[in-house]
C-alpha cells in the first residue's frame, strides 16, 4: 500500500477527499496522491471541485465513450463557478464556447467534427513531417552554444504554434499574440479562477475573434490552399460552417493545437532526461520513436482532468450514483498510472505491451489533433536528442500551478 500524502484527507465512509490542487507537493508530483487513491478508492468526491472524480483506467476509458455522458451542460455553458452568477462580463467568451465542438454533442458536434476533421486525417498530417523537421532544426540552431536554454519558449512553444499558424494560413509573426490570447482563454478552465481571469479571457476572446473575422473575410475573397480556406469551402450534405462556427473552430484548433503539445513536449523531455544515459537511445528507429512518444503521453500527460455531464441518473461505480446535470471529473493522468491496467505503472517503459493511454481522450471527443500532436512530438523529440545527445538539466524543472493542466514552469537545459 503506498503511503498516504500528508497534504490530503479522506473519509472512507463517504469517499470524500480534501486535497487542495494548489498544494505545492501535489503540483510537483500528483502521482503520489494518485497511487494512494488507486489503492484506497479510485472513485472519490473531490470537495475542492465539488463533484465525483474517477481515476480507474477502465472506468475512465468507459465513461469517455459512454453516450449517457457529454460535454454539453443541459443547463447552459459549462462554468466551474456555477450558473446562477452574473455572466454578462463573459459575453464574448460564451459566444465562442457556444459554437465550440469540444462543448457540443451530436448532431451539431458530428457535423462540425466531420467538416473540420478533413484536415487532420493521418495522411494529411504526415505530409507535414519534413516541414516540422526543418523547423525543429532551425530552432535548435538558434540555441546559444555554451549557455543554458529554456526549452519551453525556445523550442516547445514556437514549433506547434508555427505549424498550426502555417496550416491555418494566418501570419506566423502573429505567433506571440496568438499565444497570449490562447493563454488568457485557457486560464478559464483552471481551478480557482478570479474575476480578473474572466475579464482577461473575455477581452482576449473578443480580440481573437475580431482578428479571425477579418482574416476570414480576406480568405473568402482570395482562397488559398490553407486550412482556413478549406474550412470556408467545406460542405457536408450541402451544409457549411457558419461564420460563428468557423471562428469558434479556428480558435479551438489554435488553442488546443499548441497548449497541450507545449506541455507534453516539456514533460517528455523531463521524463527522458530523468532516465539518465544517452537519450538518443529511445529514438533508434521510427517504431522506437513512436513507442517512446506513446510512453511519454502515458507517463506524464499534459491534461489531468476532463469533465463530463450526466444526462441521466447513472451508477458510475458501485455505490456512486450521479444525477442528470451533475458533473464528473475523469482523471486522465491518474488513469494512465492505474496498477490494475499497467505493469509497473510508475516505470518509464517505451514499447510496453500494455500501452493504451487515455491522454487524448476516447469516444466522440477523442482529440481531433492527435495525429498532428503525435507527429510533432516524434519529430521534435527525435531531432532534439539526436542533435544534442549530451543534453542535461541546468536546474531542476518545476511544474506550474495550473491544475488540471500539468506542465512545466521552466525547462532549463545545457549541453
Q: What stretches of 142-222 show up as alpha helix (H) in DSSP?
A: 151, 158-168, 175-186, 195-221
| Residue 265: predicted pLDDT | 98
pTM of the model as a whole: 0.93
Angle between helices 158-168 and 175-186 (to 10 degrees): 100
Q: Identify whether 60 is part of a domain.
A: yes
Check whether 184 has a pLDDT greater than 60.
Answer: yes
Distance of alpha carbon 320 from alpha carbon 322, whole angstroms: 7
Contact in structure between 321 and 297 (CB atoms under 8 Å): no
Model pLDDT for residues 338-390, shown as the tens digit of each residue: 999 999 999 999 999 999 999 999 999 999 989 999 999 999 999 999 999 99
Q: What is the pLDDT of residue 231?
A: 85
Inside any domain, residue 283: yes
Across 260-272, average pLDDT = 96
Task: Report if residue 2 sits inside a domain.
Answer: no
Q: Which stretches of 301-391 are assigned E, i.e. beta strand?
A: 306-310, 314-317, 320-322, 327-330
Please report where in the chains the cell 497548449 appears, as a residue: 259
Residue 16 counted as domain residue: yes
Confidence of residue 4 (pLDDT cuts 50, 70, 90): very high
Calculate the average pLDDT of the chain: 92
Looking up cell 485557457, which residue turns up?
A: 186
Residue 1 included in any domain: no
The helix (H) or strand (E) run that includes residue 29 is none
Rounded CA separation 223/233 (Å): 9
Question: Which H helix or E strand runs over 296?
Answer: helix 286-299
First to last CA, the chain: 40
Q: What percent of the chain has pLDDT over 90?
A: 70
Query: Quick check: is 108 in a domain?
Result: yes
Using DSSP, state whether 329 is helix, strand or coil. Answer: strand
Cis geometry, peptide bond prior to residue 383 (ω within 30 degrees of 0): no
Query: Are 240 and 227 within 8 A, CB to CB?
Result: no
- pLDDT, tens digit (0-9, with 9 covering 90-100), for 81-123: 444 467 889 899 988 988 888 888 888 888 888 888 876 777 7
Q: How far apart are CA 102 and CA 99, in angstroms?
A: 9
Q: Return the residue matching grid coordinates 486525417.
A: 121
In terms of phi and psi (left: phi > 0; alpha: psi -120 to 50; beta: otherwise), the region of 190 is beta
* Residue 415 grid cell: 549541453
Mean pLDDT of 14-38: 98
Neighbours of 392 (CB within 10 A): 12
- In degrees and rounded to multiples of 5, residue 43 shows phi and psi of -115, 130
Please indicate, yes or no, if residue 218 is contained in any of the structural domains: yes
CA torsion 331-336-342-345 (nearest 10°) is: -110
Assign residue 128 the CATH number of its domain: 1.10.630.10
Contact 73, 325 (CB under 8 A): yes
Cβ–Cβ under 8 Å, residues 411 and 305 = no
Look-up of cell digits 472513485? 43
Residue 256 lies in a domain: yes
Domain that holds residue 22: 9-414
Q: Which of 39, 60, 59, 37 is nearest to 318 (CA)?
A: 59
Domain count, the chain: 1
Amino acid at each position: 500500500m503506498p503511503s498516504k500524502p500528508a497534504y490530503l484527507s479522506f473519509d472512507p465512509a463517504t469517499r470524500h477527499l480534501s486535497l487542495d490542487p494548489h498544494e505545492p507537493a501535489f503540483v510537483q508530483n500528483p502521482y503520489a496522491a494518485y497511487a494512494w487513491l488507486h489503492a484506497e478508492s479510485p472513485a472519490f468526491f473531490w470537495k475542492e471541485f465539488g463533484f465525483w472524480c474517477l481515476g480507474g483506467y477502465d472506468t475512465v476509458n468507459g465513461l469517455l465513450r459512454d453516450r449517457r455522458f457529454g460535454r454539453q451542460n443541459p443547463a447552459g455553458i459549462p462554468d466551474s463557478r456555477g450558473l446562477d452568477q452574473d455572466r454578462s462580463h463573459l459575453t464574448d467568451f460564451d459566444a465562442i464556447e457556444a459554437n465550440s465542438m469540444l462543448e457540443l454533442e451530436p448532431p451539431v458536434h458530428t457535423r462540425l467534427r466531420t467538416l473540420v476533421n478533413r484536415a487532420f486525417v493521418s495522411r494529411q498530417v504526415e505530409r507535414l513531417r519534413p516541414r516540422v523537421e526543418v523547423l525543429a532544426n532551425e530552432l535548435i540552431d538558434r540555441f546559444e552554444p555554451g549557455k543554458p536554454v529554456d526549452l519551453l519558449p525556445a523550442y516547445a512553444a514556437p514549433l506547434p504554434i508555427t505549424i498550426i499558424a502555417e496550416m491555418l494560413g494566418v501570419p506566423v509573426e502573429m505567433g506571440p499574440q496568438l499565444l497570449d490570447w490562447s493563454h488568457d482563454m485557457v486560464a478559464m478552465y483552471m481551478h480557482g479562477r478570479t474575476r480578473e481571469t474572466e475579464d482577461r479571457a473575455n477581452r482576449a476572446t473578443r480580440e481573437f475573434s475580431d482578428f479571425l473575422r477579418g482574416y476570414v473575410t480576406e480568405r473568402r475573397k482570395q482562397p488559398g490552399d490553407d486550412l482556413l480556406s478549406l474550412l470556408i469551402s467545406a460542405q457536408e450534405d450541402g451544409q457549411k460552417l457558419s461564420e460563428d462556427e468557423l471562428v469558434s473552430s479556428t480558435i479551438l484548433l489554435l488553442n488546443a493545437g499548441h497548449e497541450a503539445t507545449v506541455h507534453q513536449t516539456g514533460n517528455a523531455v523531463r521524463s527522458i532526461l530523468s532516465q539518465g544515459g544517452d537519450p538518443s537511445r529511445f529514438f533508434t528507429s521510427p517504431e522506437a520513436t513512436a513507442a517512446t512518444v506513446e510512453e511519454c503521453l502515458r507517463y506524464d500527460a499534459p491534461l489531468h482532468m476532463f469533465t463530463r455531464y450526466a444526462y441521466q441518473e447513472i451508477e458510475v461505480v458501485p455505490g456512486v450514483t450521479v444525477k442528470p446535470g451533475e458533473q464528473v471529473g475523469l482523471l486522465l493522468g491518474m488513469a494512465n498510472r492505474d496498477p490494475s491496467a499497467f505493469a509497473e505503472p510508475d516505470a518509464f517503459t517505451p514499447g510496453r505491451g500494455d500501452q493504451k493511454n487515455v491522454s487524448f481522450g476516447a469516444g466522440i471527443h477523442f482529440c481531433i489533433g492527435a495525429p498532428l500532436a503525435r507527429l510533432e512530438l516524434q519529430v521534435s523529440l527525435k531531432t532534439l536528442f539526436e542533435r544534442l545527445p549530451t543534453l542535461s538539466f541546468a536546474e531542476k524543472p518545476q511544474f506550474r500551478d495550473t491544475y488540471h493542466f500539468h506542465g512545466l514552469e521552466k525547462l532549463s537545459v545545457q549541453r
